[in-house]
Amino acid sequence: MLSRISLSLVILLMLTLGAVLAPPVASAASEEVKDLEQLYTTITQEKQLIADLEKRLGGAEGFTEQALRSRLIKARVALLEQNLEYASAVANAEEGGNKNEKHHKRAIEILDSQLKVIKTTAAIIRERIVPPEAELAAPQRAAAYSKIFQLIDMLNHAYEIYIDSIKLAQRFDMDVSAEMDKLKMDLRERAENGSVLLEMTMGDVVALRASVAAVPDDAESKAKLNVAVSHVASLAAGIETVLTMMQSLEMDTTHYQNQLLGATGQITTDIFQVGVFSNLLLGWGETLWNKMIEGGPTLVFNIILFFIIVFAFHKLAKLAQTLTERGLEESHFELSQLLRRMVISIVRNTILIIGVLIALSQVGISLGPLLAGMGVVGFVIGFALQDTLSNFAAGMLILIYRPFDVDDVIEAGGVMGTVNEMSLVNTTILTFDNQTIIVPNGKIWGDIIKNVTAQTVRRVDLVFGIGYGDDIEKAEKVLTEVVSAHPAVLDDPKTLIKVHELGDSSVNFIARPWVNTDDYWDTYWDLTRAVKLRFDAEGISIPFPQQDVHLIKE
């Protein structure tokens, strides 16, 4: 009894789920049918539009006829697109399990007629592609070619629909092998015709460039050249589209890819195809071999001559450098090390540059355009590097007036240290805590320059204070003995020791001995220490700042 009840419940549950799920499935199928009906209605309307245009075209003339023909071609292409969209939607619905016999039959009929309509449309477009007359001026030729390439783009689009339609027909198990063969034949013929036309147009470009070079002021030749160059680019783009369609059908496009690369100079992913890449290598190798056979001996001789001249001037530059160094050493000119280095560098590099220019001229390279180009580049660089040129000018002034030299201790540009190196743009200073600081020459020249080591002797300025209760005579005697006893203190100029001022908390003495510049800091530190020790031994106080406060009691 219990099993019967359970079976009844299961059957009831299945019926309930079927009732719940059935309506959405039916609803989805009906929506797909509705969409297909809408697409088919659009096709019917487009066919009616084409029929009306053909009827109007029968009695039209002149400009109206041309306009109607253009609209008719666009309408036919639009119909092809709508047919493809409808048939594709039917195929997708059937693959999804919603096959409708009425639309299945319609789709096959449309695809069958689609291939015929494409042929007719392509023939109509071809009839309108008429090359312009050679006598036309450049602007008229440009306008005519613009219309032609618009038609070619439309023709390419029709063939793309052709390919998609054939592939879609195969999904409906239609026999389109003959149509596929015809399509491949048409694409191969189009690629070949485009290849020939591209080669002819490239020849026109070469001829027009020669004409412009011969008569640079001929505006008409320049305009025709621009039109021909644009023509090459448009032809290459059209051929590339055809080759893409051929590749989608697994057709060989190696030969046309080679020509396309030669015409445009653009490297795309197609170059990495084995056939294209190998043919390019063979072509380049053959060209290089022919040039080597024709001009090989002359080329080899020029290369050898170039290196011989450069080598000879390199040796001459080294000789000039040696002679310049010797001459500067033996001369009576008081030049700084920085200026000596600059003069030697200029002499050496000038000879090297002259040698390279002579070598280039001997191998057939014209120096006129090269020098002119260098002048233009120099002007642009100079305009862009104004601050650098300012530093360069400051460097020249430093070299001429010699406010300091290498190994001098200076304070300039907010930095104090030893001059380690200098160029015409900046100066490298090594600080006393071993930091390398590069200062622009403009900052140095525009600021106060203190050269600490410019003189051979230097005065050490020391200040010592004693208490107001100490013996001034005794303190002066002690200072004189301590300072005079130091071995680095010079006898001439004489040392000065005097009472300098009566300070707030002390009587201040100044001690100013003279020493060699290299002994400055050692003497400064030694005397400071020695005076403190001697004052302590003699009972002379060195007071620290203090203030006495007196309280007056009334």
State the pLDDT at residue 462.
Answer: 93
State the pLDDT at residue 533.
Answer: 94
Give burial (CB, 10 Å; 0-12/13-18/19+) of 111. buried
For the CA atoms of 92, 95, 99, 104, the dihedral, rounded to the nearest 10 degrees, stands at: 60
- CATH number attached to the domain at 387-451: 2.30.30.60
Give burial (CB, 10 Å; 0-12/13-18/19+) of 428. middle
* Amino acid sitting at position 236: A
State the pLDDT at residue 426.
Answer: 87
For 355, phi and psi rounded to 5 degrees? -60, -45
* Amino acid sitting at position 290: N
| Domain ranges across the chain | 32-270, 273-384, 387-451, 457-538
Residues in the chain: 554
Residue (of 500, 513, 532) closest to 460 by Cα position: 513
Task: For residue range 492-532, list pLDDT tens digits in order.
Answer: 899 999 999 998 889 999 999 999 988 998 999 999 999 99
| Residues 70-98: b if buried by 16+ CB within 10 A, e if exposed | eebbebbbebbebbbebbbbbbebbeeeb
- CATH number attached to the domain at 457-538: 3.30.70.100
State the pLDDT at residue 549.
Answer: 78
* Local structure of residue 454 (DSSP, 8 states): S
State the pLDDT at residue 17.
Answer: 46
State the pLDDT at residue 452.
Answer: 85
CA dist 425 and 427 (Å) reads 7
Cβ–Cβ < 8 Å for 404, 454 = yes
Q: CA angle at residue 527 from 523 to 529, to 5 degrees?
A: 120
Which class is domain 273-384?
mainly alpha
The three state secondary structure string of 331-367 is: CCCCCCHHHHHHHHHHHHHHHHHHHHHHHHHHCCCCH
CA dist 101 and 541 (Å) reads 124
**CB 514: neighbour CB atoms within 10 A?**
18
List, for the chain, all residue ranges whose pLDDT scores fall below the cut of 50: 1-5, 7, 9-13, 15-26, 265-277, 280, 284
